[in-house]
Structure 1
Amino acid sequence: MAEFDYDLFVIGAGSGGVRAARLAAELGARVGVAEEYRIGGTCVIRGCVPKKLLVYGARYAGEFEDARGFGWTCEDLRFDWATLIRNVRREVDRLNGAYTRTLENAGVDRFLARASLETPHVVRLAGRDDTLSAKTILVATGAHPFIPNLPGREHLITSNECFELEALPERIAVVGAGYIGMEFASIFAGLGVAVTVLYRGEQILRDFDMDLRDGLAEAMRNRGVNLRMNANVAAVEKDGGAYRVQLKGGDCVTTDLVMAATGRVPNGSGFGLQQIGVKLGWNGHVAVDEFSKSSVENIYAVGDVTDRMQLTPVAIHEANAFVETLFNDNPTPVDHSFVPTAVFSEPELGTVGFTEGKAREMCRQVDVYKSRFKPLRATVSGRDEKMLMKLVVDAETDKVLGCHVLGGDAAEIVQMAAIAVRLGATKAQFDATRALHPSAAEELVTMRQRWEPPAPVAGSDAAA
């Protein structure tokens, strides 16, 4: 008789959990997985996939407007939110079924129940009197939206509830200006909602390259989004059928809906980890080593619950490495270097590698190449919008350290550029690559003019 019921038990069936469970089972392990909500996790159920479908839906307003310059007559256009959200939910249901069948076909036992740990090897499922045992436990419980602790916080919705709206508001205030805030601000604005973004910082998208931040802010304002920086929310009050968002300093914003886009918190507490000795970090994340192992020998964690990089492909990569290490006799540390990422705002941006600011901290000399131009399509559509492409280069080695793009198809362009950046390609190798003309992406291999920061003004602190 086996010592344990399972070789591996996974808590959480999101992207990382499903990948680890399937791969381990395909290698011959006895695997069980518990999920308290729906198989597929945040990305599939109420994150990346349904959000991107809303992005596509919102972009049609601009597409129809652009079409006029190309000779198309677009009259009597109407948008129906009920149709869009119904079709998005239908696709989510399809993906939920596909992920479920993936686990079933791999021979993974599935439990739709909340799991908790009684010991490092014993799992209890809600609604069951018995317990299950496993040699190895993988925690893949993800994260949840953070709602600021302020008066009236009960009036705020999060990105989760955006997928449950039965009707669009006329006005919405988005609190926060990270990638989730910028994406949903763009979605709502594209669908005709009056959007105000409230952010306590100086500029949107903290930690992104400053040129991308400035460029996107300008473009979103040109599209009618009211970006209010240095706006610190003090309270939210119900005002009849609307809400009053009180700002520190006395100003207020009246709106029909308030969305908190203020980050995500790892789901590391509430199911027994601390009680059995698993070390948690400052915000409740599971602290792990380079092989995703926690402070308890047989307990591992991958994905957002570790708070390393909250990105779906990263969770999948961590799951792959975990299975290789434990079930394929191939110790594989997790590599988080040069991970591309995108913000599916309007316009969208894509980025990989180091920002200009970070590169200047690391290198003795940095060369920056930038190109800001009107894309060919806009010359006929009449849209007043610019694309931005930027390469950050180590001047001593000529290696491209960062690639940053703002504009149409930015994510698709950066995905390909990420291969070159990760392989250590030099600016000379970019230059030696033939351009694909006419395309926006050709700017990445035709930029020759280095950008020089403006000289400091005599008498200023910088000059001193």
Structure 2
Amino acid sequence: MPKVVIIGGGPGGYEAALVAQQLGAEVTVVDRDGIGGSAVLTDCVPSKTLIATAEVMTDMAQAAELGISFEDHDGDAATQLGVDLAKVNARVKSLAAAQSADIEGRLSRRDIRIVKGTGRLGPGAGAAGGEVIATAPDGSEEVLHADSVLIATGARPRVLASAQPDGERILTWEQVYDLDERPEHMIVVGSGVTGAEFASAYLALGSQVTLVSSRDRVLPGEDADAAEVLQDVLERRGMNILGNSRMASVAREGDAVTVTLMDGRTVTGSHCILALGSIPNTEDLGLEAAGVQVDDGGFIRIDKVSRTTAPGVYAAGDCTGGFMLASVAAMAGRVAMRHFLGDAVQPVDLKEISSNVFTSPEIATVGWSEAAVTSGAIEADVVKLDLNGNPRAKMQGITDGFVKLIARRGSGVVVGGVVVGPRASELIHPISLAVKANLTVDQLANAFTVYPSLSGSTAEAARRLHRVD
């Protein structure tokens, strides 16, 4: 029976463990922070739970447009929404802990051994069979034989010497769940996905929000039309967005936090979230001795089946860079174990990855982008259909958002798409299926949709790409 040791219990690790056990391997997971990793305990699950509360606040704030009013027990109109952030964060942490326990129980029921502690590659690792050294919290060590090793150690928030978090007023995105009171004025430094999500959430929860962006707009890496819609909505709702503004330092004095910009301007608020990117957890793993190469940023180099440069050593998840998504980590971990254990495997295709920005409205994307079309990287036709003409959107009071489809010129094969709107994370799925299965716009258009429905706009966009030869 082949022996597999997995270092790290996040999505890349635990999903790989389940596949390896299913395929007949003896599996050990060495985990330091808790099964589920940062995705479950400090990042994805907690942040999206917080955002779920923010979504309800947004819906309630717009209820008057649908003819709904709130009244107190005397029949007087209630005019203000409130949120108990202590209760919100208690729920966030409770759900995260429960999810972690559920996953750990699933592993245990499958006879997957879990070793609490840190792991590093030992003698023989990188030669298609070797050892992993597991160090327990008390300092004791255990030597584990591994025919193959998967490294899934994740990443952590990047901080700067001039902007050190204190866990109280200056925060990384992993530290916000200890707040007991709603911040009066939250300054978010960084306008990428993480920064935009937290800025949108705290704005909906009732905080004054200032977003500091080093670029000219929010979400510089996303579809330009989508970013424009989001920025317009956020500014309309009262967010102060400082474009082309690079942070120099962050300092706290009492209950005030001041962000100093490179041009000398300052912004003062009650709290600050640092959303400055991620650093891979690849130190002290014995990578160099085993022959595992990393790039200049410390991220592990892998191929399309998750192999590193060392025989028998695979890697998955945020420690490898690229698309730092839980879904990608899980897929890469599954692919790694299927490849090692001789099962049928389909290499990860980056052009099939769907992703979502959980702002309000959400932004979901898959496949090729319009920027790639404009640059000439691919010949394709693009159509964009605003949601404000969709009947279901009108019923629900949705005025912002669109569906965008990208299809190869001539064949009409769907190669990409963007959805901006409520629950875009759900609406992107039929487009993802079309990209995965090489469906044409005609095939997508001819699938029945419910009337009225937001997904009807996807079919309509596909119909507009129909070509008559």
3-state SS of 2:453 partner = coil
Work out whether residues 393 and 399 of structure 1, in 8 Å CA contact, stay in contact via their aligned partners in 2.
yes
1:62-73 superposed matches below 5 A: 62-73=58-69
User: Matches of 2:393 and 2:61 in 1, distance apart?
Assistant: 11
3-state SS of 1:393 partner = strand
Which residue of 2 is the match for residue 395 of structure 1?
Answer: 409
Which residue of 2 is the match for residue 356 of structure 1?
Answer: 370
Which residue of 2 is the match for residue 185 of structure 1?
Answer: 199
1:233-244 superposed matches below 5 A: 233-244=247-258
CA positional deviation for 1:154 = 4.0
User: Matches of 1:91 and 1:256 in 2, distance apart?
Assistant: 27
Aligned identity (percent) is 29
| Structure 1: tracts of 5 or more residues without a match | 451-464
User: Matches of 2:216 and 2:66 in 1, distance apart?
Assistant: 39
Question: Number of matched residues?
Answer: 444
User: Aligned pair in 2 of structure 1 residues 28, 366: CA closer, same or farther (>3 Å)?
Assistant: closer
| Pairing 1:153–2:164 present | yes
User: Matches of 1:129 and 1:380 in 2, distance apart?
Assistant: 62
CA positional deviation for 1:361 = 2.9
Task: Tell me the TM-score normalized by structure 2.
Answer: 0.89
User: Matches of 1:319 and 1:402 in 2, distance apart?
Assistant: 25
Work out whether residues 392 and 454 of structure 2, in 8 Å CA contact, stay in contact via their aligned partners in 1.
no
Work out whether residues 293 and 308 of structure 2, in 8 Å CA contact, stay in contact via their aligned partners in 1.
yes
Correspondence for 1:123 among 127, 132, 151: 132
Which residue of 1 is the match for residue 30 of structure 2?
Answer: 34
3-state SS of 1:157 partner = strand
| Pairing 1:98–2:98 present | no
Work out whether residues 436 and 442 of structure 1, in 8 Å CA contact, stay in contact via their aligned partners in 2.
yes
Work out whether residues 40 and 96 of structure 1, in 8 Å CA contact, stay in contact via their aligned partners in 2.
yes
CA positional deviation for 1:356 = 0.8
Which residue of 1 is the match for residue 436 of structure 2?
Answer: 422
Which residue of 2 is the match for residue 48 of structure 1?
Answer: 44
Task: Summarize deviations over 1:93-120 as a string: whole Å, max 9, x none.
Answer: 2111111111111111111111222321
User: Matches of 2:336 and 2:141 in 1, distance apart?
Assistant: 31
Which residue of 1 is the match for residue 222 of structure 2?
Answer: 208
User: Aligned pair in 2 of structure 1 residues 361, 107: CA closer, same or farther (>3 Å)?
Assistant: same
3-state SS of 2:407 partner = strand
User: Matches of 1:218 and 1:341 in 2, distance apart?
Assistant: 21
Which residue of 2 is the match for residue 133 of structure 1?
Answer: 145
User: Matches of 1:330 and 1:241 in 2, distance apart?
Assistant: 57
Task: Summarize deviations over 1:106-159 as a string: whole Å, max 9, x none.
Answer: 111111111222321222222214422222111011111112x35243454211
User: Matches of 1:130 and 1:433 in 2, distance apart?
Assistant: 56
Task: Summarize deviations over 1:222-269 as a string: whole Å, max 9, x none.
Answer: 122211110111111223321111111121100111111122222122
CA positional deviation for 1:308 = 3.0
1:401-412 superposed matches below 5 A: 401-412=415-426
CA positional deviation for 1:198 = 0.5
User: Matches of 1:210 and 1:395 in 2, distance apart?
Assistant: 22
Which stretch of the first structure deviates more once superposed, 362-371 or 183-192? 362-371
Work out whether residues 372 and 378 of structure 2, in 8 Å CA contact, stay in contact via their aligned partners in 1.
no
Which residue of 2 is the match for residue 79 of structure 1?
Answer: 83
User: Aligned pair in 2 of structure 1 residues 334, 403: CA closer, same or farther (>3 Å)?
Assistant: closer
Correspondence for 1:279 among 281, 293, 311: 293
Which residue of 2 is the match for residue 108 of structure 1?
Answer: 112
Work out whether residues 246 and 262 of structure 2, in 8 Å CA contact, stay in contact via their aligned partners in 1.
yes
User: Matches of 1:270 and 1:190 in 2, distance apart?
Assistant: 41
Task: Summarize deviations over 1:356-409 as a string: whole Å, max 9, x none.
Answer: 1112334675322112242656656767x3221212232232222221111112
Letter aligned with residue 79 of structure 1? V
Which residue of 1 is the match for residue 237 of structure 2?
Answer: 223
User: Matches of 1:380 and 1:437 in 2, distance apart?
Assistant: 12
CA positional deviation for 1:67 = 2.6
User: Matches of 1:189 and 1:134 in 2, distance apart?
Assistant: 49
User: Aligned pair in 2 of structure 1 residues 332, 419: CA closer, same or farther (>3 Å)?
Assistant: closer
Which residue of 2 is the match for residue 296 of structure 1?
Answer: 310
Letter aligned with residue 56 of structure 1? A
Work out whether residues 359 and 401 of structure 1, in 8 Å CA contact, stay in contact via their aligned partners in 2.
no
| Pairing 1:57–2:92 present | no
User: Matches of 2:407 and 2:164 in 1, distance apart?
Assistant: 45
CA positional deviation for 1:435 = 4.2
Correspondence for 2:189 among 160, 164, 175: 175
User: Aligned pair in 2 of structure 1 residues 351, 381: CA closer, same or farther (>3 Å)?
Assistant: closer
3-state SS of 1:195 partner = strand
Task: Tell me the TM-score normalized by structure 1.
Answer: 0.90
User: Matches of 2:182 and 2:378 in 1, distance apart?
Assistant: 51
CA positional deviation for 1:342 = 0.6
Which stretch of the first structure deviates more once superposed, 136-145 or 264-273? 264-273
1:336-347 superposed matches below 5 A: 336-347=350-361
CA positional deviation for 1:422 = 2.1
| Structure 2: tracts of 5 or more residues without a match | 72-77
User: Matches of 1:381 and 1:288 in 2, distance apart?
Assistant: 45
User: Matches of 1:79 and 1:90 in 2, distance apart?
Assistant: 18
Aligned CA-pair RMSD:
2.2
User: Matches of 1:316 and 1:288 in 2, distance apart?
Assistant: 15
3-state SS of 2:221 partner = coil
